[in-house]
Amino acid sequence: MRPKVFIAKKVPKEVEDYIDQYCDYDTWNGSGLIPRNELLKVIGNSDGLLTNREYINQELLDSAPRLRVVSNISVGYNNFDLGAMKSRGIIGTNTPTVLDDTVADLVLGLMIATARRIPELDRFVKAGQWRGVVGEELFGTDVHHRTIGIIGMGRIGECIAERAKFGFKMRILYCNRTRKVDVENRMGVEHCSMEQLLQESDFVVLMTPLTPKTVNIMSDREFNLMKRSAIFINASRGETVNENALIKALAEGKISGAGLDVYSKEPIEPHNPLLGMQNVVTIPHIGSATAQTRFDMAMLAAENLVRALMGKEPPNLVPELRESVK
């Protein structure tokens, strides 16, 4: 009997066709994300689940007694209740590597957009306010030859460092759970404490995964350590930042600006003070949002799912759930 799969979000036809070669499947055909109560109703006879945001907890597992594999279309897997999944022997997978360059491109774009005030000046021109020579009040900040501090030197962090070093000739500081001597030798980046990174960087880029230890890793103390001229960039997860502390730092001029792809609550609420700040660039969690990268992520997630359901170790097994593979 072929395994049964539920696809909880819209994916390209090629991805469905690939799954169809090995599994029977149902898919959510509604707009947006499938409502939680609807998913709990339809997942009961599924052996595998393809998703990217659905919280995989005891409630969902109780509604899916046959479930063996959950494949995330995401590099992150903070939607996995690892304890609950371990207790059931559920295999979990993610989609690293295929989005590294795309996210790194976006981070550099956020840095340039914030430093050179591109969205603000775009609005200035379109509002008909450009009537002569641009004065100092609209000047931006250079990116080249400045110091960038990267908090979290994973694969994406390395891609950011490469662009900053060889494209913009920047000095690169980093802090990470483990020191990356090979990266230091290859690119001349400098390992340091988080305190030194915050004090010396012109751009602080947060790229750490979301874990219990990284929740609010940037808060009042950290923003107070930054240069008043520094710019903060977050393309990790919104919960890694104490958003009230960030708003306070920006409002009081403790830092110069921020470029944000993620927020403590998403979609961002319309009354959030960040939306009224000219020195903040806000984009809607689009780190991996190009057509090619999203296709590659969906296909990799499908390959992970099928391989696990066929009784083989998937290429991108979540490390904490490795013992679930028999």
- Which residues are the active-site residues? 237, 266, 285
How far, in Å, CA of 32 to CA of 74, rounded? Answer: 17
Which residues fall within 8 angstroms of residue 127, CB to CB, at 6 or more apart? none
How far, in Å, CA of 262 to CA of 285, rounded? Answer: 5
- How far lies 78's CA from each of 209, 214, 254, in Å? 9, 12, 31
Contact 278, 256 (CB under 8 A): no
Query: Helix, strand, or coil here: 191?
Result: strand
Contact 306, 69 (CB under 8 A): no
**Structure-derived torsion over alpha carbons of residues 66, 30, 210, 105, reported in degrees to the nearest 10:** 130
Which residues fall within 8 angstroms of residue 62, CB to CB, at 6 or more apart? none
The DSSP string of 136-174 is GGG-----TT-EEEEE--SHHHHHHHHHHHHHH--EEEE
Q: Which residues of 273-311 are buried (b: 16+ CB within 10 A; e: fewer)?
A: ebeeeebbbbbebebbeeeebbebbbbbbbbbbbbbbee
Assign 3-class secondary structure to 196-250.
HHHHHCCEEEECCCCCCCCCCCECHHHHHHCCCCCEEEECCCHHHECHHHHHHHH
